[in-house]
Structure 1
Amino acid sequence: MTTDSAENMITLVEKQKNNQNRYNIYVNDQYVFSVHEDILVKHRLLKGEEINQTKMKKIIEDEETQIAYRHAIRMISRKPKSRYELKKKLIEKGYEESLIHSALDQLEKEKYIDDYSYAVTLANYRIKYQRKGLKWIEQELSQKGIEKMTIAKVTEEVDKESEYKAAYHLAQKRWERHDGDTIQKKSKISSFLMRRGFEYSLIRKVLQQIEEDESQEW
């Protein structure tokens, strides 16, 4: 086949029998590559169309990007992920970084991935259902590759009342469970809540409220 010649022509576009979304492309009566239906339409791959080496290279790159894109879609359909997490998974699967970036850019453009929305949802879930503090959440979001500015925005906007209630619930249960004097109880509970990512200022406020509630019962 001549490198970049007008003599190169698509002579057959054949739908695959075992995959109705994929098509085999023949140039000058020789099989050259297969593509997904989306790429077929995008590049107008029709019988009788001229094609050169430069265009074929671009088609193959787009096809590989689409494969990475669809792989990422399958992953986030099972469980939401940040852009960084998806990138890491796709690298592990052997995709080239340039293709990964193109696929992830497409996913962001289409709002399939949105690190801010992902971080907000995760933060609220951790607080409400797992009773974790903002420090824990900040660290987790950082490990998931969320940008510092996004983390700062999320922690600023998260429901502080829900965080307080989560800390209070945990502290109250342990207050009733632990023996010993007040100082010992406060020390143990403070350490526990700090390990769960609650700020000391919030912990102090919670323990003060528990002491007041206990004194009113008496």
Structure 2
Amino acid sequence: MLDGRKNDLKKITKIEVQKKNEQRFNIYIDEAFACGVDIAVLTEFGLAKGMEVTDELLEQLTDHETHRKAINRALVYLGARVRSEKEVIEDLQKKEYEEDAIDAAMLYLRENKFVDDNAFAKMFCRTMVNTTLKGPQTIKRELRQKGIGENDTEEALEYFTDELQDEHLYKVLTKAARTQHNVSQVKLKQKLQTTVMTKGYFNNKDIMDAVLQEFVSDEEEEDALKLQYEKFERKFSKYKGYERKSKIVKGLMQKGFRYEDIQNFLAAQEEY
């Protein structure tokens, strides 16, 4: 027990188990309720009925109890799933714990291996790779948002090999291509390039070309050009001659068809 002047001493007159939680105890000093503590604090300070305490010791008890509450809150939060250190800290801040209580909680969690950003990053990356089609850049960004450092992030991403990235990218681009109907290769390529960026992948020309050829062959592009031409022909039916032709050409070019292909198609239509 800490030293103190005789007239500062108070005495614990009662210790009782809390009704709703057998792991917590109410401490009474000089017959008045002083504070509640959990069993870890009770044991660590050796609290017992008849024990004399000082104001300084009471302050230590209060601080220690607050730290224990922060630790317990963190353990509950970690019970749902593995978290990064930043996630735990932000949760404790949201619960309005003071900085010293948060520091004490994080020290306890680190020492007892309840938080480990390196292990968290590896687990997170494996989960994303095995259950989603998110690209490496997206996974990297999400790890950084969770407070994971550069070294841990790069080490975790080693699991996402080039071979796996190519396999996933092909699936992503194939899925995107299936949503595009009767479009030119240029238009589809623009769509796929946007998909590569938004999904967090690096551009891969070989995979891009393979998907383009799979979904819009030269013959299919001719069919798409014909279909779009017929739509524009109806749309601009009120116009005549050169003005009508100009509007159709402009519309087809906006759809991504090459000017040369459009002119050849129109020439064939006129011959027909």
Normalised TM-score (structure 2): 0.68
Q: Percent identity?
A: 24
CA contact (8 A) 2:189 2:212 kept: no
Higher alpha-carbon deviation: 10-19 or 96-105: 10-19
Q: Distance in 1 between matches of 2:124 and 2:31?
A: 53
SS of residue paired to 2:13 = strand
SS of residue paired to 2:35 = strand
Report 1 or 2 for greater relative contact order, CA contacts < 8 Å, sequence distance ≥ 6: 1
SS of residue paired to 2:121 = helix
Matched AA of 1:106: Y
1:194 maps to what in 2? 197
What are the residue-to-residue correspondences of 1:118-197 with 2, within 5 Å?
118-178=120-180, 179-197=182-200
2:4 maps to what in 1? 4
The CA deviation string for residues 86-127 of structure 1, in whole angstroms up to 9 with x for no partner, is 211211211101111211221122222222222222222222
SS of residue paired to 1:9 = strand
Shift of 1:4: 3.0
Q: Distance in 2 between matches of 1:71 and 1:132?
A: 32
Instruction: List alignment gaps of at least 5 residues for structure 2.
Output: 218-272
CA contact (8 A) 1:23 1:37 kept: yes
1:88 maps to what in 2? 90
Shift of 1:212: 8.4
CA contact (8 A) 2:84 2:120 kept: yes
Matched AA of 1:156: E
Q: CA RMSD, aligned part only?
A: 2.5
Shift of 1:17: 2.1
Structure 1 residues 14 and 5, CA gap change in structure 2 (3 angstroms): farther
Structure 1 residues 14 and 67, CA gap change in structure 2 (3 angstroms): same
Structure 1 residues 30 and 177, CA gap change in structure 2 (3 angstroms): closer
The CA deviation string for residues 186-216 of structure 1, in whole angstroms up to 9 with x for no partner, is 332121021010112xx3343255578899x
Matched AA of 2:46: R
Higher alpha-carbon deviation: 189-198 or 73-82: 73-82
Larger radius of gyration: 2
How many pairs align?
Answer: 211
Q: Distance in 1 between matches of 2:127 and 2:195?
A: 20
Shift of 1:40: 0.7
SS of residue paired to 2:53 = coil
2:31 maps to what in 1? 29
Instruction: List alignment gaps of at least 5 residues for structure 1.
Output: none
SS of residue paired to 2:37 = strand
Q: Distance in 1 between matches of 2:19 and 2:183?
A: 74
Structure 1 residues 44 and 204, CA gap change in structure 2 (3 angstroms): farther
Higher alpha-carbon deviation: 51-60 or 36-45: 51-60
CA contact (8 A) 1:115 1:146 kept: yes
1:61 maps to what in 2? 63
Shift of 1:176: 4.8
Higher alpha-carbon deviation: 87-96 or 169-178: 169-178
Q: Distance in 2 between matches of 1:122 and 1:204?
A: 29
